[in-house]
Amino acid sequence: MKHENFSKNLRTLCNNQVSVAHVCRKMEINRQQFNKYLSGQIYPSKYNLNKICQYFQFSEEELNLESSQFLKITSKILQSESNSEMNVFEKHLNLIPSKNKDLSRYEGYYFNHYYSATLPDKIIRSLIHIYEYKNKFYSTSIEHLWDKENGDIQRNRTRGKGAVFYLGDRIFISEVETLTNNLIQHTILCPSYKNIVDSLSGISIGVGRRSSHLPAASRVEFLYLGRQINIREALSNCGLFELDTKMIDSKIIARIKNEIADSESMLIANDF
């Protein structure tokens, strides 16, 4: 293949980026066109080649080197980058004294219930998974934003990836919405003091998903499902629900109401 080295080297560089889609957005290059560069089907025009060289800070000659030669010059650069801003941030994260032994009992799948920030007359039930990977804890969440009771032609889905920490006898979850990468959600949960975890209550802070993106806080209730579940079946039970729905336990609905008592000055999680 005439430009095989270029496509291999470009793939190497992209593997160290957030995603190919992220790279295309930053360079303002069509994703389908860029995929052809990655596969070696075509070689970039001078205009797009200049964009690629500027973005990755490599010359055209360097991008067309034999892959083994290219790896030699990139390994040092990538190593130095990994030790710069991102590595400093990771060091700060590693300093957080999260008690992983305490988090291990919370591993598994949960239904998360909360009032919709953009549809105040609706309750959302999403699916969230808390799991351990290489001695750290992470979360994956999925929202199905369609009406489960009345039917909904327009179906929207969101996904989140996050980190989970146990600090000061509280569970902290910080998630990024991965389909658009423009939303961050922070959740703080009270731990369970029962022998068997059944539910967790807390507060979630984020922004509405519509154009206003107004910051909002909401009570949340996690209902534990287990460490091994039928994910397809669980997702089929997620979606938007009416406030008086019979498909969600009335006790859960009562616990997620965003009401502030006369004796309170702010929204506080239910811890009882």
How confident is the model at residue 140, as a pLDDT? 93
- What CA–CA distance (Å, rounded) separates 161 from 205? 15
Instruction: Locate 190 and state its tokens.
Output: 């009270």
Q: What pLDDT does 84 receive?
A: 46
* Single-letter amino acid code for the residue at 254: A
Higher pLDDT, 187 or 158: 187
pLDDT band at 2 (very low <50, low <70, confident <90, very high): low
The answer to whether 32 and 89 are in contact (CB under 8 A) is: no
Q: Could you report how far apart the first and last alpha carbons of the chain are, in Å?
A: 66
Superfamily in which the 4-95 domain is placed by CATH: lambda repressor-like DNA-binding domains (1.10.260.40)
Among candidates 181, 112, 101, which has minimal Cα distance to 135? 101
Residue 77's pLDDT band (cuts 50, 70, 90): low
Of all helices (H) and strands (E), which one includes residue 133? strand 122-133
Q: If residue 234 lies in a helix (H) or strand (E), which one and from where to where?
A: helix 231-236
Task: Give the residue extent of every domain in the chain.
Answer: 4-95, 100-255
Q: What is the mean pLDDT of the chain?
A: 84
Residue 152 has pLDDT above 70, yes or no: no
- Position 49 scores a pLDDT of 93
pLDDT tens digit sequence for 195-221: 889 999 999 998 866 556 778 899 999
Per-residue pLDDT at 34: 93
pLDDT tens per residue across span 39-64 = 999 999 999 999 999 888 888 988 99
Q: Give the model's pLDDT for residue 98.
A: 57
Q: Lowest mean pLDDT: which of 22-36, 135-149, 238-252?
A: 135-149
**Is 100-255 a domain of CATH 2.40.128.120?**
yes
Q: Who wins on pLDDT, 174 or 193? A: 174
pLDDT at 183: 83
What would the mean pLDDT of 62-70 be, rounded to a whole number? 88
